[in-house]
Structure 1
Amino acid sequence: MKLSAATVLAAQAVVGQEALHLDAQRWDDWLALFTDDVQFWVPAWTDEHTLGASPESELSLVYITARAGLEDRVWRVRSGLSVASTVLPRTCHQVTNCVVAPASEGELRVESSWSCHQVRLKDRSQHVFFGRYEHRLREVDGQWRIAGKKVVLLNDVIPTMLDFYCI
C-alpha cells in the first residue's frame, strides 16, 4: 500500500510535535498525542549487541502499558515529589530520518533516529542520549495518535537519571 504525501507528512508531524512538547514541558499537549492503550517501552540491552525482545519477560528500562501510566509520570514531575526530576533539565530533542510505512489496518509505523541534549542546572552537567524510535500511530477521530512508542537507547550507560522527557 502506497501512502500519500499528506499522510507521510502528518505522521512525521506527530513525531516532531511530541519532541517539541517534551522540550517545552507542555505535558498536557504531550499526553494528548497518545491513545489510552499506548505501550511505551524502552527495552534494555541483554548484551553488547542484543536488545531485549519482550517487555513482559525481560528487563526494561521503562515499560508503561497505558496512557494512565504516562499521566502518573507527568503527575510526579509536576508535584515535585520526584527528587530525580527536581529541578527539571532543559532538553532539546532532534528527530531525523523519519521513515513512514503502513502497519496494520488504520495504523502507521514511523521509524526515526533521535538525540536529546540536556543540561541539568542542579549539578551543571550536560548529557546527550541518542538512539532510534519506533512509533506506531493509529488514526483516532481523523487524527494520528501514538499507540506505541519503542525507544531504543543506544548509549545506555547512563550517568544520570532517565525519564520520559529526556528520551
Structure 2
Amino acid sequence: MHEAMAEAQRLIYREALALDEQRWTDWLDGLHSEAVFWVPAWRTDHETTADPQREVSLIYCAGVQALRDRVDRVRGGRSPAGTPLPRTVHAVSNVLVEEASDTLLRATSVFTSTVYDLRRGESHAFVGRYEHRFVREAPGQAWRIGRKHVVLVNDRIPGMLDFYSV
C-alpha cells in the first residue's frame, strides 16, 4: 500500500502543477479518453447533487474531448470570464488511497486553490475535497485520470470557475 500512496501523491501533485503552470497539453495527456470531470452543486447545506445527468453541476465534462474543447477555448481567448487567465496555486494534502489494484488507483485528498484575478488585482481561495480515480489498461502502462470528482466546499464563486481553478 505504501507504493500506491506514493504513486497517488505523485499523480495528484503533478496534475496540480500542470494546472498551475498552464501546461494544458500535459494535463490533457494525463486524462483517460473517457475521463469524467465533475464538480457537483450543493442540493442542501450539507448534501451535493448526486446525478450530473438530472441535477445541477458547477462543472460536468464527460470524455476527454469535452475537456479538450474547454482547453481550446481558454487557449484561444474565447473564454471571456477567463481572459486574461488568472494565476493559480493548488495546495493538496491529506492524500489517502481508498482502493488499489494493478489497473485502478482511487484516492481522496483535500485542496486549497488560490486564484489571482489579474483584472481586479484580487485573489480568492477555493477549498474542497478531491476524489481521483486513476486507471491504466495494463500493469506497467501509464496511469491516467479516469475520474476527478471535486466537492467545492465554498461554492460562492466571486468571479469565474473553470477546470484550472479547482
Common topology (TM > 0.5): yes
Q: Which amino acid aligns with 1:85?
A: G
Contact 1:12 1:100 in 2 (8 A): no
Q: How far did 1:104 drift? A: 7.3
Q: Which amino acid aligns with 2:150?
A: V
- Alpha-carbon distance in 2 for matches of 1:41, 1:159: 20
Sequence identity percentage: 46
2:93 aligned partner: 96
- Alpha-carbon distance in 2 for matches of 1:102, 1:150: 15
Instruction: Choose which of 113, 122, 126 in structure 2 pairs with 1:129.
Output: 126
Question: Which ranges of structure 2 fall in alignment gaps of 5 or more residues?
Answer: none
Moved over 3 A (4+): none
Secondary structure (helix, strand or coil) at the match of 2:15 reads helix
Instruction: Choose which of 65, 79, 83 in structure 2 pairs with 1:82.
Output: 79
Instruction: Choose which of 50, 53, 66 in structure 2 pairs with 1:53.
Output: 50
**5 Å matches for 1:2-151?**
3=1, 5-102=2-99, 106-140=103-137, 142-151=141-150
Residues matched between the structures, number: 164
Contact 2:4 2:105 in 1 (8 A): no
Q: TM-score normalised to the size of structure 1?
A: 0.94
Q: How far did 1:119 drift? A: 0.8
Q: How far did 1:23 drift? A: 0.3
Q: TM-score normalised to the size of structure 2?
A: 0.94
Q: How far did 1:81 drift? A: 1.2
- Alpha-carbon distance in 2 for matches of 1:72, 1:39: 14
Secondary structure (helix, strand or coil) at the match of 1:7 reads helix
- Alpha-carbon distance in 2 for matches of 1:145, 1:35: 5
Q: What CA deviation, in whole Å up to 9, does each residue of 1:65-109 have, x standing for no partner?
A: 100011001000000111111111110000000001226772111
- Alpha-carbon distance in 2 for matches of 1:49, 1:101: 22
Residue 146 of structure 2 corresponds to residue 160 of structure 1: no
